[in-house]
Amino acid sequence: MRTLFIGDIFGDLGVRAAQGYLSANKEMHEIDLVIANAENAAARGTGLSKSAAAALCGAGVDVITLGNHTFRNTDIYAMLKEHDHILRPANYPDGAPGRGSVVYYTRRGAVGVINVLGRLYLDACDCPFAAAEREIARLRDKTNMIVIDMHAEATSEKRALAGCFDGGCSLVAGTHTHVQTADEQILPGGTAFITDVGMTGPADGVIGIKHDAAIRRFRTLLPERFIPAEGRMQFNAVIVDIDEETGKAVGIRRVNTLTDGAAP
């Protein structure tokens, strides 16, 4: 089973970068499942819009995960109700719309996907460890191939969750910081891990935002309207090979490409 996990898709450039990469590479690399974190895929880089979701799914994304900006775009309420393959973090409090996990059926078997949100330096939410444990136990009845998107600020929290469930899932992919880390590895129990998959979107900004707006915010500490940067596009992802029989990861490699801002 070959899974492509795409790092945080940011704004229009991020959607276009994902479309371009999938068009050129999905079949060539024999990708069986595409998962993308798209909590910033709306045109302005905050939340997920219907148009962005439709474009990503049309390009070949199978499961969309979200994060701390899940409910920043009002489109999401209807999408979470209508689409099982769009996930919000499983550790949102009871009563939040949507679901935190799904079983997706591919030509090479079923894969469980779980979305959880970290608690350090982010808004309060329920325990991601307890939520992941609950969802893994529920999905195990249907598959031994399980992917977790750990959307978190702290590297320590991501690594701790991966260690906690090493051998109990196939991949723990960290998201949220928009900076790809160089620590991709397979842990002793057979779980693939990377602290942060990175960002798919504008390459010439401050984690996706125009430099001037970000600089003013840091210098003045005043509220600032963030505008997505323009120019070159980057595509960040990991490709993970999973043994269908055991659910263990047998390979993980980073993808980090850079192109101009032309349409795919």
* Residues involved in catalysis: 69
For residue 103, the number of C-alpha atoms closer than 13 Å in the C-beta half-sphere is 14
Question: Three-class SS of residue 25?
Answer: helix
Residues in the chain: 264
> Which residues does 224 contact at the CB level (< 8 Å), separation at least 6?
213, 214, 216, 217
Pairwise CA distance, residues 38 & 131, whole Å: 21
Question: Is 129 within 8 Å of 163 (Cβ atoms)?
Answer: no
38-to-6, 163, 193 alpha-carbon distances in Å: 9, 25, 19
Question: Is 74 within 8 Å of 44 (Cβ atoms)?
Answer: no
Pairwise CA distance, residues 165 & 192, whole Å: 11
Pairwise CA distance, residues 135 & 21, whole Å: 31
Closest alpha carbon to 37 in 182, 212, 171, 230:
171
Beta bridge mates, 173: 149, 194
Label residue 208 exposed, middle or buried (CB < 10 Å: 0-12, 13-18, 19+): buried
The one-letter amino acid code at 118 reads G
